[in-house]
Homo-oligomer: A and B are copies of this chain.
Amino acid sequence: MSGRLFVVGLGPGNPDQVTPQASAAVAGARFFYGYKPYLDRLDLRPDQLRIASDNREELSRAEAALTKAAEGETVAVVSGGDPGVFAMAAAVCEAIEAGPKAWRDIDIEIVPGVTAMLAVAARIGAPLGHDFCAISLSDNLKPWDVVERRLIAAAEAGFVIALYNPISKARPWQLGKAFERLRAVLPAETLVIFGRAAGRTDERIEIFALGEANAEKADMATCVIIGSRETRAIERGDRSPLVYTPRSLASQ
């Protein structure tokens, strides 16, 4: 008897940015697995159960959810943002590949969501309006030299760069080092956006020049967007500036 597993993206945190598809998945599931701050966003009924786990326990959380679904239950694994971007969808796939054959019979439905970089971009203008990339700055799961190589390749090729997982208590120096490396490739005036809690009441979106960007202003809930040479700001008097990357690029 195989059940059903939803992997649900709850969006950046504003309830108005949760899709009806995600809300329906939440209404239909009985067991909920996730990092506690994401589970805390759910308004559940008494017959629905939360099983919280720590931020760095993605694989064991996926295994627990699959085990429960394999018993025939309807289960949801929840992520902030989009579950396919540095979140639970890949962890669930990893667990299925390494797990018992029966897990391949579970109905898996992945429900996409608005990922952090899109929410931050929308609050400031259109910094992702041209080619861009998303890099997780965590070196828990890949060597730091690969992170640096990708940052430099992306900046040299003209991509705007969105950084996920920029900093944490266990990883205090990586963002500063990333800025240092990028300063060797990009002009000091390149625009950098620190976006935190986009669309929520505690939102904080700040713009810096790369030459002055201070990693200590970010925390683990910040999405950092580093512009390309083309990214620019439109001043608007008392209103906050619009930061955008033009759609077009002349010959270089």
Contact = CB atoms under 8 A, between A and B. Distances in A.
A175 interface: no
A121 interface: yes
A105 to B, nearest CB: 8
Contacts of A130: 90, 136, 142
Given A90-B244, A91-B247, A96-B242, A11 B17 contact: no
Interface residues of A, number: 80
Contacts of A246: 90, 94
B21 A14 contact: yes
Main secondary structure of the interface of A (DSSP, over half): mixed
B131 A135 contact: yes
A251 B234 CA distance: 42
A17 B16 contact: no
Interface stretch (A153-161, A185-193, A205-213): A153-161
Nearest to A131: B135
Specify how many copies of this chain sit in the oligomer.
Answer: 2
A244 B114 CA distance: 19
Given A16-B21, A125-B110, A154-B157, A141 B249 contact: yes
Given A19-B19, A89-B122, A153-B154, 8 more contacts: A9-B122, A18-B20, A89-B121, A90-B126, A90-B129, A90-B246, A115-B118, A131-B150
Interface of A: 9, 11, 14-21, 24, 58, 82-86, 89-94, 96-97, 104-105, 108, 110-115, 118-119, 121-123, 125-136, 141-143, 146, 149-150, 153-154, 156-159, 199, 232, 234-237, 239, 242, 244-252
